[in-house]
Structures are given as structure tokens and as C-alpha cells.
Amino acid sequence: MRQGRQRLLFELLVEGAGVDQIDRMDHHGVDRGVGHLLAEGGEILFVKGRRAPHTWALVEDLDRGRPGVDAAFDGLVEPARGRNVCADQHVKADSRCARRRTAKASGFAGCVALPAMTGRQPMTVRFAPSPTGLLHIGGARTALYNWLLARGSGGRMILRIEDTDKVRSTKENVDHILEALDWLGIDYDHGPLSQAGHQPRHLEVIEQLRQSGHAYEFEGSTRLKVPDEGETVVRDLIRGDVTFKHEAIDDFTIARSDGSPLYNLAVAVDDLDSEVTHVVRGEDHLSNTPRQAMILEALGHAPPVYAHLPLLHGPDGKKLSKRHGAASVQELRDAGYVREAVVNYLALLGWGYDDKQTFFSIDELTDLFTLDRVSKSAAVFDEQKLRWMNGAYLRQLPAEQLTARIEAFTGREGLAGAVELCREKIQTLADFWPLAAFFFDGPTDDPKAREKFLDGEGRLRLQDARAALAGVEPFTTETIEDSLREVVERLGAKPKQVFQPVRVAISGTTISPGIFESLELLGRDESLARIDAAIDAA
RNA sequence: GGCCCCAUCGUCUAAUGGUUAGGACGUCGGCUUUUCAAGCCGAAAACCGGGGUUCGACUCCCCGUGGGGCUACCA
């Protein structure tokens, strides 16, 4: 943090401070500042910390030789000191959150509260995929963010399958989604709910809307009336307030002419009935949000808080689609990525904690994840980075665990020894077998390698190595290394001139785990047999 | 077309009016070395453009430009 004039944000645990106060405050916080807000909020106070139960931002503008921050701070915060203040944290104010930005304004201070950013207030969230395909990484990330919010706040996670489009929804896809979530470790407190199953209630609401005059029938379908004037403001924790003028929104259809309810209505009603507090979903839903909010309003209810996540793009910068090999969760799993790495990577795709930490355990994630640090711009899925991260996770796994995972992945047993030798060379579970297969299935067939290292000279050196290995006792990595290095010295050769022929003889290729370790694992008999075979073939 | 969102190295991001614009992946170079990796060290690499506001703008405002989304009796 920069020194000197800096805005201060202080973390304090204000027990019982009502978040409701916030709404009333933030709008006039702008220029009038503190006094006003304080009066409004009672004994308020402020601020911040990614983990504060109630997050209040003390914002001020130091630009104008105003009384210093400290002065302001002392005056304001003092009242709360008696309670519980850990005011040692300097954080910059303002924010990507428009609510804060608004308050920032100029002049002196504003006390703005950020209701839903409070990671600790129980949040009820939902993940609502439509079962029209596999769960791809975008959906997985949305599910993850919701889950982190629920778990991190002690709230609830609802899984709702949006299957009101019977033509495109399939049971098989539902199963794929459940399987993917399960693999990721994302569980839920309610569900899976079938949106189609709520049809009776949806129909009831449609009827209610019609009777109250908010909706009318048009060519058999039912539409919601959208006033010509006015506007609907969507409160979005990531994007700030987004205003939609009603004149740009036509009356929209909420029920098909066969009477069946449509998406916008079903979503609004289900979220309402489930008492969802935060709707966290992809940005592609942003434009529909005012419609859902209007339905809620017509019903006499306040909308939930929204948070629209940036979309994920393919490597070419375009929207992620099947064409980009739109990695589904299953594909990642089958490609040998482990759940921890996928979760960690996904968490970082659109969110960042600070400029230091890259690896996050699930627990850290639930603890640290907040919507205010979610970025606003689309991100590109970078498999290279996932690979790197996956490798890092594999390397830090205890040997037995890695072995167990690789055995499960390959369907083979007795891999412990080979895993030990290969663990530092693989980035995915799938990388193991190509590297280690020769231990179990015999040398790989790589003509070029044989040609290059088992030619005349290579063959002669191989014979020397063979003779030396035959006498090694016991047959261990250390003794093997000693004897082969002796050969190198005796021949006056370069190490690789002896080692590579041996490597190719036992593995069939030029790439393998450490040669001495590999020989030991193979055992003397098998090693010599392979070397003999190589000599004969050459 | 209309409405809405977005814009920092190739990629993911940090930065919250004052930094030599930081980190990570990838790339390149070096070390290590029995191959390949891993590891360690180092390098190149970014504020879309133009106007404002300000003593000072990557940060705030406006306009462009570019990208994306929505505009269904799909979700």
C-alpha cells in the first residue's frame, strides 16, 4: 500500500448492524457525506475487509487539502471503537462496484455500504443450468462461484434445472450436469429441482398477473405489460446499477399460446419462491434481467441482488462455443486434470485475490471469494495454464494418493514404483501412461530412436553396459549408476553416449524417467533381457 | 438496426488519483543435467484512441473505436 494520504478502510465486525440501513444511505452519501450517513445509520461504521460481515466503505476524497483522513477517521470511527475494531488495514476505497463509485464522488466523505458484498451474511444462491448439453467450463465456473458464496457465507445453494423447454432438455444432459458437479465437489442444499415441475405455480402466477391487469393475452399467449415510460434499474454487484429505459423494452411473452410458462417468468417466480437473495449468473442474462425484475415488481416483490459474471471466450477471442472444443467438465476429467486444479483454475478465471497468491485450497476459496473482486471483462480459457497448475497439484500430492489416482485413471494396478519415478514429469494423469507404459508392456517401438542410438557405436557401448550391469550386486539405483559411470569413464565417452543406448534398449524411446531408477525398477533380469534383445535387433 | 455490458503484457490478472505499471501461464536465454520434465536465475512483453476534470490519470467524465451479449410463444 502506498504511504501517506491514503484512504483507510477499516475492518470491523459490527454485530447486528442492519444491512437494510445501507440502501437508504448510499444514495445521498455522495456529496453530503458523513454526517448525513451517520445520522441515518445510527452508530454505523465502516468498513471493510474482504471478510467483514458487514462491509462499509469509508470513502473520502483527499484531493483537496481537506482535513486529513486521520482526522476524519478519528472523528467517525471512534464511536465504534468500544466494540470491536481491527483497524489496521489500509485499503483503497472506491471500487469497481458502481455503488461505491457513485459515492466516491467528490468532496469529502461518503459512507457507502455494500450490502451483498458481505461475504458473511448468509446468501441464498442458485445454479440454474439448462440441460441442453454438457456442463462446460463457463457453467462450471458459475456453479463454483455460487457454491463458494453459499459455503463462504453459511448460506444455501440451490440447484435448479431449467427444463421448461421440453424439446431441448434431456434426462441424459441432466445426469451429465449432476455428474460434473459431483466431480467438482460442488454440492447443494436443495435440489436438483425441476423447473418444469413448478408449472402449476407458474400458471397460477400468470393468472394472477392477468387478473391484476399486469399481463394480457395476445394471440393466445400472455404478455406482460411494460410501461412506455420510466426505467428499471438492475442492481448488479459486479457492474453497478444498470438502467434500462422502458421505451426500449417491448411487452414480452411470459406464456406460450398453449399456456405453458416461459423462461423469464419461471426464473423470476422460482427465485422468488426459493427466497434467493443473490442471482449470480452469466452476463448473457443481463439484458433479460429487467424483464424478470418487472415480473417481480408486478407481483409486489423486490428483486434479488444480481451479479452478472463476465463470459468466457475461446482462444480466438470469440464467445466460447463447441467449435473451440468447449471444454466440458467431463472432458477435463478425462484429459487427466484433477478436481483441485480445475477448481483453482476456474476460480481464477474471472476473479483474483491479490498480486501474490495463485494457489488456493477449497477452504481458502470459500473464505476469500467475494463478488467485488470478480472482473468485468470476458476471459479466455487457457489450457496451458491449467496444465501447469494441474502439474503443480500432482507434484504436491502424497505418493500413495497420486498412485491411487493414476491407478483409478488408467485402470491398472501396481503402479506405485513407476509413479514414483514419473511424478515429476507429468502434468496430467493422462501423461503418466505414455511415459511409463514400457515398464509394463515392454519397450515402445520408436525406429528413429533405435536407429540413432543403437547403431554401430551405440551397440558396442550397449554391450559394455550390459556386461557391467550383469555384475552389479545388489541391483539398485546407486550401484547401477556407479557401474555405468565406470563404463563411461573406461570408454572415455560422454555420459549420454552410454546412457542413451541403454535408455532406448529398455524403454524403446529417448524419453524416459531416470535411467538408473528405471533399471532398478525393471530388475536385472528384465533389463538384461531387453538389452540383449536390442543388441540382437541392431 | 435498437438496447445493454466490457476494454492493463499473447493469456489470466494486480493497481481503487502520485508505482521503475506488480504477479502468474506461455515465450526466449542461462544454470542444473543421463533423455524429457521439474527446479532455480534472468529477459522480452501491456495501460485501445481522442478529448476533458485535476497540480497530477491505467485509475474519474465524455466521444470515438473494438469486442461481446440481448433483442424468441429458447434458456
User: Each residue of A385-426: pLDDT tens digit?
Assistant: 999 999 999 999 999 999 999 999 999 999 999 999 999 999
Q: How far is CA A232 from CA A241, A251, A292, in A?
A: 10, 14, 10
Look at residue A249 and tell me if it is in a domain.
Answer: yes
Confidence of residue A24 (pLDDT cuts 50, 70, 90): very low
Check whether residue A168 and residue A258 sit in a common domain: yes
Same domain, A76 and A169: no
Residue A504 within any structural domain of the chain = yes
Question: Which pLDDT does position A459 carry in this prediction?
Answer: 87
Reply yes or no on whether the pLDDT at A78 is more than 70.
no
One domain for residues A167 and A259: yes
Nearest to A423 by CA among A440, A403, A408: A403
Residue A110 reports pLDDT greater than 90: no
Q: Which nucleotide is nearest to A266 (CA to C1')?
A: B75
Provide mean pLDDT across the span A268-288: 96
Residue nearest to nucleotide B25 (CA to C1'): A385
Same-domain status, A453 and A412: no
Around Cβ A491, how many Cβ atoms within 10 Å? 15
CA distance A203 to A344: 42
Structural domain contains residue A386: no
Is A494 designated active site? no
The reply to whether A409 and A473 lie within a common domain is: no
What number is the average pLDDT over the span A4-21?
27
- Which letter, b or e, does each residue of A426-456 get, where b requires 16 or more Cβ atoms within 10 Å of its Cβ? bbbbebbbebbbbbeeebbeeeebbeebbee
* Residue A349 domain flag: no
Confidence band for A100, pLDDT divided at 50, 70 and 90: very low
A61 CA to B61 C1', in Å?
16
- Do A246 and A166 share a structural domain? yes
Which CATH number goes with the domain that contains A268? Answer: 3.40.50.620
Return d(Cα A195, Cα A487) in angstroms, integer: 74
Length of chain A: 538
A536 CB and strand B closer than 7 A? no
Nucleotide lying nearest to A388, CA to C1' measure = B25
* Distance, Å, A313 CA → B48 C1': 19
Cβ contacts of residue A2 below 8 Å, gap of 6+? none
Nucleotide nearest to A313 (CA to C1'): B68
Residues 120-159 of A with CB under 7 A from strand B: 130, 132
Note whether ipTM > 0.90 here: yes
Domain identity same for A131 and A214: yes
**A318-344 pLDDT per residue, tens:** 666 655 556 899 999 999 999 999 999
Q: Which has more confidence, A118 or A83?
A: A118
What is the domain range of residue A499?
447-537
Percent of chain A with pLDDT over 70: 75
From the Cβ of A496, is strand B under 7 Å away? yes
Q: Is A309 a member of any domain? A: no
Q: A334 lies in a domain?
A: no
The residue among A495, A491, A471, A493 whose CA lies nearest residue A483 is A471
Q: Which DSSP state fits A423?
A: G
Main-chain phi, psi angles of A305, to 5 degrees: -85, 140
Q: Which of A538, A414, A535 is nearest to A469 (CA)?
A: A535
Tell me whether residue A372 is in a domain. Answer: no
What does the DSSP 8-state code read for residue A83? T
A102: nearest nucleotide, CA–C1' criterion: B60
Residue nearest to nucleotide B15 (CA to C1'): A355
pLDDT tens profile A192-211: 999 999 999 999 999 999 99
Say whether both A161 and A272 belong to one domain: yes
Domain boundary among A267, A301, A335: A301
* Percentage with pLDDT > 90 across chain A: 65
Q: Tell whether A106 and A211 lie within a shared domain.
A: no
Instruction: For A496-526, write each residue's pLDDT tens digit.
Output: 999 999 999 999 999 999 999 999 999 999 9
Cβ proximity of A81 and A14 under 8 Å: no
CATH number of the domain to which A461 belongs: 1.10.10.350
Contacting residues for A198 by C-beta, under 8 A, at least 6 apart: A266, A269, A270, A273
pLDDT grade for A32, boundaries at 50, 70 and 90: very low
Report, in ranges, which bases of strand B sit under 7 Å from a protein C-beta: 2-8, 10-19, 22-26, 33-39, 54-56, 59-61, 67-75
Q: For chain A, what is the domain count? A: 4
H/E element holding A533? Answer: helix A524-537
Domain identity same for A402 and A262: no
Same domain, A164 and A266: yes
Let me know whether A271 and A128 are in one domain: yes
Neighbours of A144 (CB within 10 A): 25
Q: Determine, yes or no, domain membership for A170.
A: yes
